[in-house]
Amino acid sequence: MAKTKLVTGLFKSKVSAEAAVDSIIKRGYSRDDISVLMSDATRNKEFALQTRTHAADGLGIGGAVGGTVGAVIAAIAAVGTTLFLPGINLVIAGPIAAALAGAGAGGATGGVIGALIGAGIPEYRAKVYDAELRGGGILIGVEARNDEEIDRLEELLEDLGAQNVRAE
């Protein structure tokens, strides 16, 4: 079996990012397989209802977070392994956050680019993602289970409007 690869795509809107997460889940992946990166400003602007009410604090995915597509991204960004790096105002949730937290969050000292490189994204692409995240973009990543899934996930993200879709 091939080594898993992180497939990432950058979305310009909450709606398209939510559609991507919904489609990835429909492919049989779970919330725990999906990483979401966004600026703290984007989280506060796009997901204000969930973050202001703190409905997800201390809860599992059930209850107040609900089952709508929008709630899935909000839950990923509010519950579970979420790493907020205050010096760089970046919210990282999902397996990428777990990997960075396990590594002592060395990306915190290297800024957004350091955090992305720590997640396995090449430096030149991390610089592109950094600029887009600062501009309100939402980065979605999922670990492909095999080589065939890499191609399918790349095509899926592109079809849903993702930019800079790549597998690492």
Least confident of 19-28, 45-54, 60-69, 79-88: 60-69
pLDDT for the residue 78: 56
Q: Range of 46's domain?
A: 5-162
Read off the pLDDT of residues 91-119 as tens digits, 9 standing for 90 and up: 777 777 766 665 554 444 456 777 778 77
Tokens of 141: 């990543």
3-class DSSP state for residue 134?
helix
Task: Report d(CA 1, CA 41) in Å as an integer.
Answer: 40
Tokens of 63: 């209850």
Residue 121 within a domain: yes
Which of 60-64, 108-112, 153-157 reaches the highest mean pLDDT? 153-157
Residue 124 within a domain: yes
Residue 167 within a domain: no
Task: Report d(CA 130, CA 106) in Å as an integer.
Answer: 16
Domain count, the chain: 1
Residue 155 within a domain: yes
Residue 47 within a domain: yes
Residue 45 within a domain: yes
Residue 168 within a domain: no
pTM of the complete model: 0.76
